[in-house]
Amino acid sequence: MEVEKVLHMNKGVGHTSYAMSSLFQRTVTIQAGPVIEESTREVYITLRPECFMMADMGCSSGPNSLLLVSKIIDVIDEASRSLNRQCPQFGVFLNDLPGNDFNVLFNLIPNFNKELQEAKGSSFQPCFVSGNPGSFYERVFPDKFLHFVHSSYSIHFLSQVPRGLVNENGEALNKGNIYIAKTSPPEIHKAYYAQFIKDFMLFLELRSSEMVSSGAMVLVLLGSFNSDDPDSIYELLGSTLHDMVLKGVIEQEKLDKFDMPFYSPTVDEIRELVEEEGSFALNKLESFTIDWSVDIRYM
């Protein structure tokens, strides 16, 4: 199964759609807000481009991406005023896999630009938003194109389910689980981590070609405290699916062969890989847990 061809969040705007049920991811972005603000302000003040080019990798189909963009525009508008300069134009590039429901996002854009114009006055130029379908494990943009890259809650998705989750006879090694679980043999963590190393290093290399020098990137992803932590949500989901096997709702073999295509790294793993890959200087690396009492009106 090619993950990049089948993975997508729930389409549309119905009550089970990603657009209507991504409050958790919105909270993640809000929590990372101060880092994003500081980083975009610094890039703008250093480079002072006439058109600030930013990309959101794995934007999905909900409003979260545009909330982030409006926050960045506010920060740069304020910074340009303090430098007595005209606010730059903005090129906003929204990337996700081709199966993503970009139409949900596109439908929000006219109103988004109208609200910006009303808030910032008639001299504010429209923000040029476009969708860029493609895997972020491939080149998405031309050389030295972007000043700022953001990705939230997306790059823990792997380009493929790791090889090594089955033995040489094609038998599943992580039977009854769908991710690293307490009952998983040690090869399972090794296989997941090996795939993450490959994908994450590639992501860094590709983005470094697409970004201008002195640009910045903020990546927020699902993490673990310990390297081979079983991920409790997916352990629970795995055991629920196992119950469904026992009830005959799904076939045992299908569950045995199903594994989630993601990996949640530790802070140390990320540090090591960024340093080893070498394209980026690591200015800040933080972990946080989600506090559900965060005020979502912040953005």
* Min separation Cβ 81 and ligand SAM, Å: 29
4 binds ligand SAM (CB under 6 A): yes
Q: How far apart are CA 96 and CA 262, in angstroms?
A: 16
157 binds ligand SAM (CB under 6 A): yes
Site track for ligand SAM across 46-75, x = CB under 6 A: ------------xxx-x-x-----------
9 binds ligand SAM (CB under 6 A): yes
162 binds ligand SAM (CB under 6 A): no
What are the C-alpha distances in Å from 277 to residues 19, 156, 209, 218, 270? 34, 17, 13, 16, 11
What are the C-alpha distances in Å from 53 to residues 108, 115, 154, 269? 20, 20, 20, 29
Q: How far apart are CA 169 and CA 208, in angstroms?
A: 40
Size of the site for ligand SAM (CB under 6 A): 24
DSSP character for 86? P
96 binds ligand SAM (CB under 6 A): yes
First-to-last C-alpha distance (Å) of the chain: 38
- Can you tell me which of 19, 55, 75, 97 binds ligand SAM, judged by CB under 6 A? 97
178 binds ligand SAM (CB under 6 A): no
The stretch near ligand SAM (CB under 6 A) out of 3-11, 72-80, 229-237, 266-274 is 3-11
* Min separation Cβ 62 and ligand SAM, Å: 5
- Residue 62, by phi and psi: left (phi above 0), alpha (psi -120 to 50) or beta? beta
31 binds ligand SAM (CB under 6 A): no
Which phi and psi (to 5°) does residue 298 adopt? -50, -45
91 binds ligand SAM (CB under 6 A): no
Q: In what order do the strands lie in the sheet with 146-152?
A: 127-133, 89-96, 51-57, 146-152, 211-220
* Min separation Cβ 1 and ligand SAM, Å: 14
The stretch near ligand SAM (CB under 6 A) out of 129-137, 208-216, 240-248, 263-271 is 129-137
Asked if residues 256 and 188 have their Cβ atoms less than 8 Å apart, the reply is no
- Can you tell me which of 29, 40, 174, 224 binds ligand SAM, judged by CB under 6 A? 29
184 binds ligand SAM (CB under 6 A): no
Q: Six-digit token pair at 80? A: 């340009």
153 binds ligand SAM (CB under 6 A): yes
Residue number with CB closer to ligand SAM (29 or 264)? 29
C-alpha angle 115-121-127 in degrees, rounded to nearest 5: 55
* Min separation Cβ 32 and ligand SAM, Å: 10
The stretch near ligand SAM (CB under 6 A) out of 132-140, 141-149, 206-214, 243-251 is 132-140
25 binds ligand SAM (CB under 6 A): yes
For 177-196, give one letter per residue: b (16+ CB within 10 A) or e: bbbbbeebeeebbebbbebb
SS3 7: coil
Residue number with CB closer to ligand SAM (25 or 31)? 25
Give the residues lining the site for ligand SAM (CB under 6 A): 4, 7-9, 22, 25, 29, 58-60, 62, 64, 95-97, 100, 135-137, 152-154, 157, 159
